[in-house]
Structure 1
């Protein structure tokens, strides 16, 4: 069976459509209404079913429509034909497309992202946006101790729907535990983060605890969002989604080397990174910065 070819560069009409959508998205009230005042969990489940439809013809049309309104760039994809929307969203990239900074004092970004809120964990409190705090204890859940990150740093990394959706080990180390916390699927865009208190603590998420080879404990917290059908964690061979009925606590011992693929989102969402004291932001890391997987995110303090 023939598969669909990657869409060609956008014409003027498509660029106009994207411009119109950008102007529409700038209207915060309407943006919030369209992306949050809907049956979020039902819409997310529906998106999961649609994304898994194995139809080259349907996929071709869907990606054409997607490119009318978003800057979806498939030029770095390892393959240029896709059998489903999921196949496109979880695409691998060409070899060498995301080189990792291999310096031993560098903690690399696990994913492509737009940097959101960053800061120091103080009295167990961090921020999703200015004036919108939430607690690490609530984010991590009752079974996990987040106090080890007191005085350390947190960085919020937001993946948009058109970005590369796979995430990788930011440094050498071993994944020791995963906690799955079911929840809602609020949009995690800046509009929602400025309006919904404790949003990350409300949404479905996984707390991935890892210990680096230097002994430092870190945590990666992938947070699902509206239309994000699932999160795949390779070392557990498990698919976490709003209908997940399996174990909530998943102890493990999974060695990873820096840059090794850890899993993927099936649409786009957020990863919140936590590190203990002894790390500082890498040059250029600030709210609004665009970063690629492998780029220096943090450095061990001298």
Structure 2
């Protein structure tokens, strides 16, 4: 069995600290095995199908999974006081979550995050690591080869995808340590929504390096949004390994408001992809600059992620 002995560190630019930082990867040994070893390639489908992820997710709903929360919070330096406590009576908020999944879908306390209000500025719809392109084309090579970023491949519907050909794109990667609820970036309504069945590969950059079709092969939930300030958007939630479920907490047939919760992922890191109409908006300057360097930009929920053209 061949292994990549020392895979490169995952570096990202943290807008909040104005520094380049190194990501602490949850389950990094398993990811390395699955995507960079001969045996991992042979057995990979056992772990990247939806049944494994759903079974693994079910374990995070067991009362015994409560014991994982405190070590997880301490290992990854999570600012637990920023979040609402769980439903289990406890003096320490780290002990207040009845299951790991209850901790995983924790909410921010009121006032901990706010959404930019200016109509021409799009707020970050997830607390995540972002890459962005002002016009997607086959010359783009990060984070995966350009042809795998095309609208028709991401949306999985050729007719709908024509709306977004040559338009801007941002990808928000959520790590297991992150807040796992995602939100609407503007006021508007849902025009259409549908599921694209697929696999549950990891969206970790190491996995993308070895298997660059992940964003078009993984399970996806696609919503076509009509927004007040940014035209039509394709809002795509991408499933990933060990993501038990993609939950839509907002009823799709109701209007939505900027910053309103759209849904959440149960256990596992995952991704939200946002596509726009050609020329309607562009990702923020620092995201474009960092993407050109091959690194992601970490944003807090609600801070600027894009601007209207």
Question: After TM superposition, is the score higher than 0.5?
Answer: yes
Q: How does 1:181-200 map to 2 (within 5 A)?
A: 181-200=196-215
**Does structure 1 residue 278 correspond to structure 2 residue 292?**
no
Q: How does 1:258-269 map to 2 (within 5 A)?
A: 258-267=258-267, 268-269=269-270
CA separation of 1:24 and 1:171: change in aligned 2, threshold 3 A: closer
| CA offsets 1:59-116 (integer angstroms, 9 cap, x no match) | 4421134346534432211113111111111111100111000001111111000113
**Does structure 1 residue 176 correspond to structure 2 residue 179?**
no
Q: Give me the whole-angstrom Cα distance separating, in 1, the residues matched to 2:130 and 2:261.
A: 20
**Does structure 1 residue 48 correspond to structure 2 residue 63?**
no
Q: How does 1:280-295 map to 2 (within 5 A)?
A: 280-285=282-287, 286-287=290-291, 288-295=296-303
**SS at 1:221 equivalent:** strand
| CA offsets 1:2-54 (integer angstroms, 9 cap, x no match) | xxxxxxxxxxxxxxxxx9x769949985463588735223431222211221x
**Alignment partner, residue 129 of structure 2:** 114
For the aligned residue pairs, the C-alpha RMSD in angstroms reads 2.8
Q: Give me the whole-angstrom Cα distance separating, in 2, the residues matched to 1:233 and 1:22.
A: 27
Match of 1:234 among 229, 249, 260: 249
| CA offsets 1:141-192 (integer angstroms, 9 cap, x no match) | 2365112222321111100001111111101111121111111000001011
Between Structure 1 and Structure 2, the one with more strand by share is 1
Q: Give me the whole-angstrom Cα distance separating, in 1, the residues matched to 2:282 and 2:157.
A: 28
Give yes or no for contact 2:245–2:265 (8 Å, CA) kept in 1: yes
**SS at 1:63 equivalent:** helix
| CA offsets 1:255-280 (integer angstroms, 9 cap, x no match) | 11111111111133000111112212
Q: Give me the whole-angstrom Cα distance separating, in 2, the residues matched to 1:225 and 1:138.
A: 17
Give yes or no for contact 1:282–1:298 (8 Å, CA) kept in 2: yes
**Alignment partner, residue 63 of structure 1:** 69
| Structure 2, unpaired ranges of 5+ | 1-21, 86-92
Q: Give me the whole-angstrom Cα distance separating, in 1, the residues matched to 2:155 and 2:231.
A: 18
| Structure 1, unpaired ranges of 5+ | 1-18, 237-251
| CA offsets 1:211-268 (integer angstroms, 9 cap, x no match) | 01247101111101000111111233xxxxxxxxxxxxxxx53211111111111133
Q: Give me the whole-angstrom Cα distance separating, in 2, the residues matched to 1:194 and 1:119.
A: 23
CA separation of 1:229 and 1:67: change in aligned 2, threshold 3 A: same
| CA offsets 1:115-142 (integer angstroms, 9 cap, x no match) | 135341237x865625353132122123
CA separation of 1:32 and 1:148: change in aligned 2, threshold 3 A: same
TM-score (norm 1): 0.78
**Alignment partner, residue 97 of structure 1:** 112
Give yes or no for contact 1:167–1:263 (8 Å, CA) kept in 2: yes
Give the C-alpha shift of residue 292 in structure 1. Answer: 1.4
